[in-house]
Structure 1
Amino acid sequence: IECQGEVFHRESGEIMEQAAQRSLHMEIEHFAAPKTFILISTVMSWAKSNPPDPVNSFTEDDYRRRKPHPNFMDHINAEKLVLKLGKNVSFSTYVVASGIQYGAGEGVLHYFFKIGWLSETNAIPVFGNGNNYIPTIHVHDLAGVLQNIADHRPRFHYILAVDESLHTFQELVKCISKNVGPGKIEKIPQENAFLSKELTQTHVDMLLVNLRMEAMFLKETFNIKWVAQTGLVENIEQIVEEYKQSRGLLPLKIYIHGPPGVGKSTIAEEICKHYKLHHIKIKDVISESIAKLEKIVAPKEVDSDSVRQEGEDDDDEEEGENVEEAHELLAGIKESMEQNAGRLDDQYVIKLFKDKLKSMPCRNQGYVLDGFPKTYDQARDLFNYRCERGKVKDNVFFFTEFVISLTASDEFLKNRIINLPESVVAGTHYTQDRFLQSLNNFREINAEDETVLNYFDELEIHPQFIDVAKYEDPENRFIVKEIIKEIGEPRNYGLTDEEKESLERKAAEECLAREAKEEAERKRREAEERAERIANWEEWNKHLEEVKKQEQELLEARSIPLRNYLMRHVMPTLMQGLNECCKIRPDDPVDFLAEYLFKNNPDVK
């Protein structure tokens, strides 16, 4: 029976207890061999217990005096039931009160790991004052406790499973923030925790628990091969690595190379959108770094009435220690730019790029380097691979793993720039003189024996070459698809619920609009066809009537001469012959009539 992380309604808890009790009582009598039953419960069944004294911690000896959190009454009832059933000789039962679990996904603490990893806020929230102690245990260590119980069947049946740490809520979140997120925390009211859709009532209850606990029985009896005996804070690097591996959160590090005007920035932006990476351009890196340095060296306003919140002192001290260094770096940057007509020496550019790539967002999600480094020496200095070979390198987490080289002929690039609107070209390096100069510089740099692509090639990071002129695609869609095909699936969190809902809603709206448009088009075509059929039918009928009329008139016109001829030459003699035939009534009237017409033909004399 697994109770950890579940909250049963009272009715369902009672049903579970009654069903378990009936089932186990019926089965115990038929056990052929002794059996062991282990219930994994939670320290939340201790949440409202009165501590023995302000200094000492709870131990297993205090379990009879434990008082549960109101939302975990079913857990303590399950604990009591399991211990009661274990009094049978052939059936041993154990209750393991587990600390708040972390590791291999981070459990309740996943909320803070995810916020930090996504780098969407300047500080990770701490609900309340954060001074409450949270007992914790790594899931692998909890598994070790269960294995020891199954192997040794100890005499003590209620066991605390917590590590040796005594960390407060604030200390845990601050450690996560420094190693995964922005490095800062922000205390907010406890009730704000319920504003997050990712935190349930159970999560909030566990995060706000205040228990100092010590697992004496584990220390004295069990032989556990601990993964994180001293807790999350002391083992944070290992925990972060487990977290990323278990959730497939691996950074993507891409370098895009190519001549000016080939579309590096546009393609880099699309790649960043698809993979949720950080677009790194030399101009942005320099301006952002200068702004950050100026903020550090700016005089701080001191408010004597304000009171610092706990947890902010360390951040301020660390920032204060860097003020002198920031002053020196800022002065060097400004001097270099003044002496070089606004350009910055490579040593400073390399320094600023390293700091950017070492930042937590780039370490977490990854980046797309847009056109820098440009030369072999810049690449070597930025990544420091050669001079640190064989040593522990601090740059291993930001070393580029994919190199995309966009190629195009000078003629193609010139035509592309010529066809750009004037509004786009104005104020950029795409003006005719500057563009041609930049293009010539690029060709010269990449015609040498040691180029930036050679640097990556030597390290077995072979560039993927894409001929931009091959694709008649001004929007670079096909090129982006080729790059995505080479790189593979994203290594990021999937879409959020809001993003999924938005995409599903958009897809449904598009589907409905498409169906409505198709239905309207079908009805329009049917109406046109129906109108056309009616028009054709009316036209056919009209034409038929006209034909009949013309035939009748033709027949009448043709019959007039014939009728006149008959009335003049045939009908008089014929009428006389018929009258005579009627009078005489010969045996063969036809022969009589023929004979009569022959004898009395006026044309025969």
Structure 2
Amino acid sequence: MNHIDSFAGRNIGKYLCGCLVGASLVESPEEAEDDDSGSVKEDLNQKQKGLFQIVGTLSNPNGKKMDFPLETYMISSRDEFLQRLLECDIIVFNITEDLSQLDDASWAVSALHSEINNFANPKMFILISTILTWARSKPIDPDDPEIPFTEDDYRRRKCHINFKDHLSVEKLVIKLGKTHKDKFSTYVVASGLPYGAEEGVLHTFFKEAWLGETHALPVFGDGLNYIPLMHITDLASVVQNIADQRPRTHYLVAVDDSVHTLEEIVKCISINLGPGKIQRVPRENIFLRKELTQLDIDYMLVNLRMEAVFLKENFNINWVTQSGLVDNIQSIITEYKQTRGLQPIRICILGPPAVGKTSMSEIICKYYKLHHIKIKDVITEAMEKLERLVKSSEEEEEGEENEEQTENWQEILYSVKENMEQHGGRLDDSYVIKFMKEKLKSMPCQNQGYVLDGYPKTYDQAKELFNLEEREEEDEARGKAPPFDKTITPDFVFSLDASDEYLKNRVINLPESIVAGTHYAQERFLRTLAVFRDLNTEDETVLNYFDEAEIHPLHIDVSKDDDPQYKGTLIQICKVVGESRNYGLTAEELADQEIKAAEESFAHEAKRKDELQRKEAEEAAEKIARWEEWNKRLEEVKRQEQELLEAQSVPLRNYLMKNVMPTLVQGLNECCKVRPDDPVDFLAEYIFRNNPQIE
């Protein structure tokens, strides 16, 4: 297989490496119910000789290592490529994802054809192409454009303007397979838009819906164009059947039974994974989407009706989604999330007042990209939603059903407001739990997950919120703990702990602007803290509930974390929760992060240089000061030495002036008179003879 690390290559390769050779020739258990079991087993023993062994080339040698291929190659020359092709019995060449593979496909099938006489075994070449080579085909019956194209019509197909080269490769593959059919058979599979697993072309819609950052998914143009689809696993099954059966038909259409328009596809994804709404945008806007390639755009704008008659009549395909994407959307979404590793992270943060639950929740939400759930916000959002529904229904006033629904919403809104008035602005637990359940079951919380900030507060609240109502009474009668709703129950529970003294000091040191109007006011805080301690000394506490549900809370003493950003606490939480299960940073966020990192690096470097210059200046000034001080001390030492020498020389000078200098002067005068040949010897002799001490 070429580019075995691409979307199609990876998924087809994974499927084939788990298939027994010849398995598709044997009827499925459902089809063989009336057959003799012994004959079926005999058939299996004869035809199933082993698993397919997959080898292939890589498009990205530095990508994630795959465990299913027997070998992977980085081809440096076409001679080496041909040698690899000759080692294989079946060559699957995909030209639907990378335009650079068109030339390689033409060369590969031509090179193999030229080596037919050297084949040790018969070989098969399967080209995976696209239905876009049919995009401009004229209707079979102009009076009935809904009649679908089939394999029998492939000679009259007209390609999309951007797919002329694809059509040329298809024709070449078919042509070269007609000369020596016993040694070299070729097949072309015109695949519908491939989807499934991590999603291919449709990934942009799945990602946008899952992230939930837009109020509606875009439908480009009127959205009434029909797009033939094919699940990638079903496409792999088609390849398996071709490899096993070697059919006489050399051109096959691979599409499922669905007849979906772009609008139906996008709407289905939006309802089941995203905001639930679609929005028609001008057709030209599709070209402004940076994440879409020209191939993706061509797929989304194609308008074709096709039917895979040969597949349904002759192949034994274990269909994953024969009826199409819309009918199987839940299983497709589950597969998409699992393949992409997109699992919700549900966290509950509990603890006494002023322990830092909200601050910690905000930090966790930012780190993991989760939704911050606070009771006050949930109630406000629910009230606004009710008011919006009542208002919109009153404006529409269409039919009795809408009127009844309007009255129902008005009744709920009235009862909620009345309940709040009766309880001094507070809402009864039954309403809070109802609103909280709706929030936790909303698509954003189901997709990314949430951080539940300080709720539930009691055992009963947790029980009402998370337990499954249907089986609760039955399980209680049997003495069992009733099962909880796993779709909304937290996966991780963290209890932030601190002493009362620590909490009081923390509140005292808070700015007045933060304390004013909150429960941090002195008397209110002490009362709230006392209530919390009372609730958590009983046998049935909210932490007991999670313990019974086998979701054991982790206790973290925040008083040991001196960092105002709770880095120590965050590290402990991240060790338990693990890595993010989100998409990670977008290209824009990565760019912003790089710019921010670069700015921080420049600022740090400038600060380091300024600090270095400051230190150098200080060292230079200190050096000059030390030098001046040293010179002063040296001068002082020299002066003291001079004074000492002068003081020590006085006796000697007096002695010389008294005893030596008179005789020396007389000797010099006498030497001047006599002018001897050796003045020095004469002077020495004179001083010796006239030494006053000898006399």
Q: Same fold (TM over 0.5)?
A: yes
How far does the alpha carbon of each residue in 1:238-289 deviate from its partner, in whole angstroms, 9 at most, with x for none?
Answer: 0000000000000011111111111111111111111111111111111100
1:179 lines up with 2:272 in the alignment:
yes
Aligned to 1:504: 594
Q: In structure 2, what is the Cα distance between the partners aligned to 1:434 and 1:579?
A: 118
One of 532, 536, 544 as aligned partner of 1:446: 536
Q: Residue 34 of structure 1 aligns to which amino acid in structure 2? A: P
Map of 1:7 onto structure 2: 99
Determine the C-alpha separation between the residues in 2 that align with 1:318 and 1:208: 38
Contact residue 162 and residue 215 of structure 1 kept, 8 A:
yes
For residues 341-360 of structure 1, the aligned pairs below 5 Å read 341-360=424-443
The residue aligned with 2:609 is: 519
**Paired residue secondary structure (1:130):** coil
C-alpha separation in 1, matches of 2:214 and 2:515? 36
Q: How far apart in 1 are the matches of 2:138 and 2:484? A: 48
Please say if residues 135 and 302 of structure 2, whose CA atoms lie closer than 8 Å, have aligned partners that are also in contact.
Answer: yes
Letter in 2 for 1:402: F
The 2-side partners of 1:497 and 1:252 are apart by 23
Q: Is 1:51 the equivalent of 2:139?
A: yes
Match of 2:14 in 1: none
Q: Secondary structure at the match of 1:433?
A: helix
SS of the equivalent of 2:207 reads helix
Give the counterpart letter for 2:173 in structure 1. Answer: V
Give the CA deviation at 1:362: 0.5
Corresponding residue for residue 493 of structure 2 = 403
- Paired residues of 1:257 and 1:403 also in contact (CA < 8 A): yes
**Cα separation, 2, equivalents of 1:399 and 1:410:** 30
- 1:166-565 counterparts in 2 under 5 A? 166-299=259-392, 322-385=405-468, 387-388=470-471, 395-537=485-627, 539-541=629-631, 543-544=633-634, 547-548=637-638, 551=641, 555=645, 563=653
Q: What is the identity percentage for the equivalent residue pairs of Structure 1 and Structure 2? A: 60
Match of 2:128 in 1: 40
Greater shift in the superposed pair: 231-240 or 57-66: 57-66
- Residues 148 and 222, structure 1, Cα contact 8 Å, conserved in 2: yes
In 2: Cα distance, 1:204 partner to 1:394 partner: 44
Give the conservation status (yes or no) of the 8 Å contact 1:574–1:597.
no
2:255 alignment counterpart: 162
**C-alpha displacement at 1:223, in angstroms?**
1.3
| Amino acid corresponding to residue 194 of structure 1 in structure 2 | F
Distance of 1:357 and 1:321 partners within structure 2: 27
Cα deviation code 1:194-232 (max 9, x no counterpart): 222211111111101000101111111111110000000
The one-letter amino acid paired with 1:362 is C
Structure 1 CA distance, aligned partners of 2:580 and 2:138? 49
Q: Per-residue deviation at 1:547?
A: 4.8
Give me the whole-angstrom Cα distance separating, in 1, the residues matched to 2:483 and 2:219: 34
Question: CA 1:317 to 1:187, structure 2 compared with 1: closer, same or farther past 3 Å?
Answer: farther
Q: What residue identity is the alignment partner of 1:256?
A: I
Q: 2:115 aligns with which of 27, 41, 44?
A: 27
Secondary structure class of the residue paired with 1:217: helix
Q: Which amino acid aligns with 1:101?
A: P
Aligned to 1:594: 688
The match for 2:23 is none
Q: Unpaired runs of 5+ in structure 2? A: 1-92, 476-481
Note closer, same or farther for the CA distance 1:244–1:359 as it changes in structure 2 (3 Å cut): same
Q: Alpha carbon RMSD of aligned pairs, Å?
A: 2.9
Question: What SS does the aligned partner of 2:137 have?
Answer: coil
Q: 1 CA distance for matches of 2:245 and 2:431?
A: 63
- Give the match's secondary structure for 2:327: coil
Please tell me the residue identity of whatever aligns with 1:368: V
Query: 1:68 Cα shift?
Result: 1.2
Q: Are residues 385 and 122 of structure 1, via their aligned partners in 2, closer, same or farther at CA, if it must alter by over 3 Å?
A: same
Which residue type is aligned with residue 192 of structure 1? N
1:84 counterpart letter in structure 2: K
Task: Return 200-209 or 508-517, whichever deviates more.
Answer: 508-517
Alpha-carbon deviation of 1:483? 1.3
Distance 1:536 1:238, change over 3 A: same
2:202 to 102, 106, 109: 109
Give secondary structure in 2 for the equivalent of 1:241. helix
Q: Which residue of structure 2 lines up, in the alignment, with residue 65 of structure 1?
A: 156
Contact 1:160 1:215 in 2 (8 A): yes
Whole-angstrom CA distance in 1 between matches of 2:443 and 2:352: 30
Alignment of 1:554-593 (within 5 A): 555=645, 563=653, 566-567=656-657, 569-577=659-667, 583=674, 590=684, 593=687
Q: For the structure 1 residues 299 and 245, does the alpha-carbon distance in structure 2 shift closer, same or farther, using more than 3 Å as the test?
A: closer
Deviation at 1:477, TM superposition (A): 2.4
Query: Structure 1 unaligned runs (5+)?
Result: 305-312
Residue 163 of structure 2 aligns with an amino acid whose one-letter code is F
The CA distance in 2 between the partners of 1:213 and 1:255, in whole Å, is 50
Amino acid across the alignment from 1:78: V
What's the CA shift for 1:6? 2.4
How far residue 595 of structure 1 moved from its aligned partner, in angstroms, is 3.2
Determine if contact 1:123/1:184 at 8 Å carries over to the other structure: yes
Using the TM superposition, give the Cα deviation of residue 408 of structure 1 relative to its aligned residue in structure 2, in angstroms: 1.8
Partner of 2:85: none
Deviations 1:305-354 (A, max 9, x none): xxxxxxxx9xx999887534322221221121111111111111111011
Distance 1:19 1:596, change over 3 A: same
Q: CA deviation at 1:552?
A: 5.0
1:597 match: secondary structure: coil
- Tell me how far 1:395 sits from its aligned partner: 3.6
After superposition, the C-alpha distances for 1:333-387 in whole angstroms (9 at most, x for unaligned) are 1121111111111111111011111100000001111111111111111112475
Aligned to 2:496, the other structure's residue is in SS state: strand
Matches of 1:439 and 1:267, distance apart in 2: 19
Change (3 A) 1:360 1:322: farther
Residue 36 of structure 1: how far off its partner (Å): 1.1
* 3-state secondary structure, aligned to 2:118: coil
How far does residue 584 in structure 1 lie from its aligned partner after superposition? 11
Question: What is the one-letter code of the residue matched to 1:364?
Answer: N
Letter of the aligned partner of 2:514 in structure 1?
V
Letter in 2 for 1:130: G
Instruction: Give how far 1:475 is off.
Output: 3.4
Compute the displacement of 1:537 (Å).
Answer: 3.8
Contact residue 47 and residue 211 of structure 1 kept, 8 A: yes
**Letter of the aligned partner of 2:120 in structure 1?**
A
**Distance (Å, rounded) in 1 between the aligned partners of 2:208 and 2:249:** 41
Classify the secondary structure of the residue corresponding to 1:107: coil
- Give the Cα–Cα distance (whole angstroms) in 2 for the partners of residues 459 and 302 of structure 1: 47
Distance 1:240 1:599, change over 3 A: closer
Q: CA deviation at 1:108?
A: 0.5
- On the 8 A contact 1:17/1:81 being kept in 2, the answer is no
**d(CA) in 2 for partners of 1:573 and 1:452?**
121
- Secondary structure, in 3 states, of the residue corresponding to 2:127? strand
Q: Distance in 2 between matches of 1:301 and 1:153?
A: 65
Q: Do the aligned partners of residues 35 and 101 (structure 1) sit closer, same or farther apart at CA in structure 2, a change above 3 Å counting?
A: same
| Change in CA separation of 1:63 and 1:557 when aligned onto 2, cut-off 3 Å | same
Matched to 2:169, the amino acid is A
Shift of 1:394: 9.8
CA contact (8 A) 2:325 2:332 kept: yes
Distance 2:409 2:524 in 1: 34
Query: What is the CA distance between 1:443 and its match in structure 2?
Result: 1.6
Report the Cα offset of residue 28 of structure 1: 1.4
Larger RCO: 1 or 2 (CA < 8 Å, sep 6+): 1
